[in-house]
């Protein structure tokens, strides 16, 4: 049996878990660092659409489970596969939160290795953009991927 591939990325943000949580589940806040817009707030069992600034189409998101200020999970389609994304928020001090993103999983083959590279880079970027937005009010993503427009 070939082992499956899984992405894991983490960063500490100097904000309380409540503030980090809201920046992820609220599309108005998320549009300041990740998406262009979203069709609704992330809530248990809800289906929403995300539009990214560099693409001319929307990504369907199926929210799985939300635990206030601690855990967010959803499914999104990648290469015709429903992949699970889990985001955990763990306090590491009075005003610090460790944010860990896990995306699972793909077969350990050429397509899986390509996904692993691209999405690991993507989640590292997501975390850096989230940190810049929450700590410094900067939209690090703005204009960064305009070259990808078709």
* Digitized pLDDT (tens) for each residue of the chain, 150 residues in all: 568 999 999 999 999 999 999 999 999 999 999 999 999 999 999 999 999 888 788 899 999 999 999 999 999 988 888 999 999 999 999 899 999 999 999 999 999 999 999 999 999 999 999 999 999 999 988 877 777 766
Q: What is the pLDDT of residue 135?
A: 98
Q: What is the pLDDT of residue 61?
A: 95
Q: What is the CATH number of the domain that holds 40?
A: 3.30.530.20
Q: How many domains does the chain have?
A: 1
Judge if the upstream peptide bond of residue 105 is cis by omega within 30 degrees of 0.
yes
Q: What is the pLDDT of residue 53?
A: 84
Radius of gyration from C-alpha coordinates of the chain: 15
Q: What is the pLDDT of residue 19?
A: 98
Q: Is residue 135 within a helix (H) or strand (E), and if so which, with residue range? A: helix 110-136
* Domain that residue 92 falls in: 4-148
Determine phi and psi for 14, rounding to 5 degrees. Answer: -85, 60
Q: What is the pLDDT of residue 24?
A: 98
Q: What is the pLDDT of residue 150?
A: 60
Long-range contacts of 79-87 (CB under 8 A, 24+ apart): 79/111, 79/115, 81/106, 87/24
Q: What is the pLDDT of residue 54?
A: 80
Q: What is the pLDDT of residue 17?
A: 98
Q: What is the pLDDT of residue 143?
A: 77
Q: What is the pLDDT of residue 77?
A: 86
- For the whole model, what pTM was predicted? 0.92
């Amino acid at each position: 049996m070939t082992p499956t591939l899984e992405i894991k990325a983490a960063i500490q943000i100097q904000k309380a878990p409540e503030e980090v949580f809201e920046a992820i589940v609220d599309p108005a806040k998320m549009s300041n660092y990740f998406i262009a817009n979203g069709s609704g707030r992330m809530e248990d069992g809800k289906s929403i659409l995300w539009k990214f600034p560099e693409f001319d189409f929307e990504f369907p998101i199926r929210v799985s489970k939300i635990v206030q200020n601690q855990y967010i999970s959803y499914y999104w389609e990648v290469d015709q596969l429903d992949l699970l994304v889990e985001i955990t928020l763990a306090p590491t001090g009075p005003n610090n939160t460790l944010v860990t993103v896990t995306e699972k999983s793909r077969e350990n083959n050429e397509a899986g290795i390509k996904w692993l590279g691209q999405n690991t880079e993507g989640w590292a970027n997501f975390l850096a953009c989230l940190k810049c937005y929450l700590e410094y009010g900067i939209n690090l993503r703005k204009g960064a991927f305009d070259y990808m427009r078709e």
